[in-house]
Amino acid sequence: MPHRATGQASSIGQSKIAGELQIRKLKFEGNEHFSDKELKEAISISGGSWLGKKLFSKESSWFSDDAWQMNVRELRHFYQSEGFIDIVVHEPLLITNPKGTKLKLTIVLSENRPVTIDTVFFAGPDTTLNKQVKEQMVKGSNIFSALPGERFRDEMIWNDRDRIAGFMVNKGFAYAEARPLIDIDTIAKNADITWETAPGPLSYFGEITISGHARTPERLIRRQLAFSQGELYSREKLNRSQQQVFQLGTFRVASIKAQLSHDMKDSIPVSITLAEAPASTTRAGVGLGREDKFRTFVEFQILNFPGGARRLNIFAKHSALEPYRFDVKLTQPALFSPNSTAVLAASVKKQKESGFELFS
């Protein structure tokens, strides 16, 4: 363990400290690409002031050889995942307080040049599909973030993997996968990425089963689906269907799941699980105000009125400024298409102002 003269900077390699020291302040030197805040979030140790402890209950970390080595590993992992494979974490600069119990810690870094993506290739059994994926990259589609000229980052690779697989899934390949093969030139600091695509069999929507719809007719639910049995499989259509079913307004839960199989069957059953919202709900409130004095309101909502997916809302209000107000609204979702809605509304009210009354 290091030790140093009071108020003087030294490093672990220069001297020894007996026991652990509480870190009062933590900062970095040599970090050109990342802020101190970003680096602090990537490691375990932290500094803490008296004010931070009192206001936010933020405790300081304790410095030791073991803690230091662990945080060095964390810093290296962070930088290498961001493309800085030659990151160097130097011996820290340490300054103790006069009592020798607290510590100001400066972490000194040499980031060095990061790895840059040079080329991106595509390989796989379906050359037509590979060409389509490559065209998305050339067009600047949001499928890709790890592009030639960009700094290599692990997160970009894993995001692109999921997006490439998702692109193939929406083309009907329900079991598609994408695997990156990365070749890094550690001297030139360049990386070549080859995406191995494995689309699997072309798949289709199979049997569609629906459960949990006691009041809402099944035919209305099926009208909200963006797919039908026998159509080419698409995850995007599943997601859109789930949103459109929920838009009916009669369900508190709407879950649509494809039942993929380990043996990669090309006909994929779809399970729709629903939980209906309460058939009727009531809201009410009372209050006092300087101008409107006593005020109160009540609101009723009735679902599936008087059947189907219609919603009836009735609102009534009273106050000194508005002796009465009644609103009635009937909503018919999915009238002409899954995303269309028709609303019939009527309102009657009486308002009082000093010197006259207003009816409407």
Check residue 97 and give its pLDDT: 84
In this structure, the strands spanning 204-211 and 267-276 are parallel
Check residue 205 and give its pLDDT: 98
Helix (H, G, I), strand (E, B) or coil at 295: strand
First to last CA, the chain: 83
Q: For residues 150 and 173, what is the distance between their CA atoms, to the nearest angstrom?
A: 29
- φ and ψ at residue 61, rounded to 5 degrees: -85, 165
Check residue 49 and give its pLDDT: 54
DSSP helix, strand, coil percent of the chain (3-state; round to 5): 20, 40, 40
User: Cα 9 from chain centroid?
Assistant: 43
208-256 confidence digits (pLDDT tens): 999 999 999 999 999 999 999 999 999 999 999 999 999 999 999 999 9
H-state helical runs in 143-275: 154-169, 218-223, 235-246
For residue 12, which of 2, 21, 22 has the smallest C-alpha distance? Answer: 2
- φ and ψ at residue 153, rounded to 5 degrees: -140, 135
Helix (H, G, I), strand (E, B) or coil at 60: coil
Low-confidence ranges of the chain (pLDDT < 70): 1-20, 48-59, 141, 353-360
In this structure, the strands spanning 102-110 and 21-29 are parallel
pTM (2 d.p.)? 0.79
- φ and ψ at residue 269, rounded to 5 degrees: -65, 150
Residue 243 tokens, joined: 């949103």
79 CB neighbour count, 10 Å cutoff:
24
